[in-house]
Amino acid sequence: MDKSESHVKMAAEMKQRLKVEELEENIDELEDVVEDVFPVLIICVVMCVVLTLVFLLRMYIRYNVDCPSNNRMDGKTVLITGATSGIGKATALELAKRNARVLLTGREKTKVDAVARTIRKKTGNQQVNALVLDLANLRNIREFARSFIKDEKSLHVLINNAAYMGPKAATDDGLERGFGVNYLGHFYLTHLLSDKLRKNAPSRIINIVSSSYVDGELDFEDLALNKNFSPHKSYARSKLAQVIFNQEIHRRLISGCVWTFGVHPGCVKTELQRSYPGLLGNALRVFARFMFKTPEEGCQTVVYCAVADGLRDFSGKVFSNCKVMKVKDSLVKDRDLARELFKVSAQLCGFEDELAQNTPQPSVPANEKADVEKKTE
């Protein structure tokens, strides 16, 4: 090998070593950079994952189906409780657009009047009227029903929508407010107006319920919820009572062509959260603002159950997103529990359960009857 070839080979080896050394320096620099930015990269990745999960959760919570029925309600009268805001107000607006005679109720006359005026102006439907009703007062419910039966010619749809969720409070009759307003007030109103609904059959009763009923417990010895009260427990118990009542009233009224439907509207941003106390209440209100459905979205299944055809065979069921929702059978389909709830509710409202009174007693053979009379003597 001559000197020129040797020099060329040495030069090539030196270039290779320089490249390796340069590469090692670059790797060292890259490692330093990675060490510096790694925490920032981790934070960015975590934030992206969290935001994606929040977006997907929001999509899930706000998933909604628009009412698929275009049916109008010409000549139909609808009564809606708690119609001054939220789902009740949105439902009233939708049904007024379909030319229903809509009767709104609320506790404050000026507020109900203002909502009725707004709906008349938006829809051009002049058959939207305001009525005053306080579901926390059984006497007021009784007087309201008496006046309604006297003044109104018809009732085709009753929508039991009003609700309370908040700190422990009592109705005017001394009952726990969540149970009294959400369930018992509607129970009594429905009972008093049931004859009106029968006379205008086929008619419908729609009870606004909630999936939180699965957390509810019915303790007839503690209807005041003195043990371990919480706003959620109170609300869940009242909604459990409503779901049970929805099926029981179906069994009692279906023969008169009065259909009953429960509606779970999903998580909806309404004034229901305004009274929830404490830090959890503040967090719930902030969360609801960004994550929950709007009242216009939340009312779609209510409207569907009020106007759609072909729902007779689904009377007594609970709907969500315009489809039948599966309920927890062990809680809801216990007929003994339903009858007991109806009986206790009737007693609290000051009347006897006529159906229970008219239930035939088992016959006793004459010889056994004589033996019983002798023992009694």
Active site residues: 235
Cis ω on the peptide bond leading into residue 202 (within 30° of 0)?
A: yes
- CA-based R_g, the chain, Å: 32
Tokens (6 digits) for 4: 């020129």
In angstroms, the Cα distances linking 139 to 109, 133, 165, 185 are 18, 10, 22, 10
Q: Are strands 101-106 and 77-80 parallel, antiparallel or unpaired?
A: parallel
Q: What is the phi/psi pair of residue 29, to 5°?
A: -65, -40
With CA atoms as reference, report the closest residue to 241 among 192, 190, 182: 182
Percent of the chain as helix, strand, coil, to the nearest 5: 60, 10, 30
Q: Are 144 and 133 spatial neighbours (Cβ–Cβ below 8 Å)?
A: yes
Residues sharing a CB contact under 8 Å with residue 87, sequence separation 6 or more, in sequence order: 161, 208, 265, 268, 270, 295, 298, 299, 302
Q: Are 93 and 74 spatial neighbours (Cβ–Cβ below 8 Å)?
A: no
Residue in the block written with tokens 């009003």: 162
With CA atoms as reference, report the closest residue to 224 among 348, 133, 321: 348
Degrees to nearest 5, angle at CA 194 with 144 and 221 = 80
CB atoms within 10 A of CB 187: 25
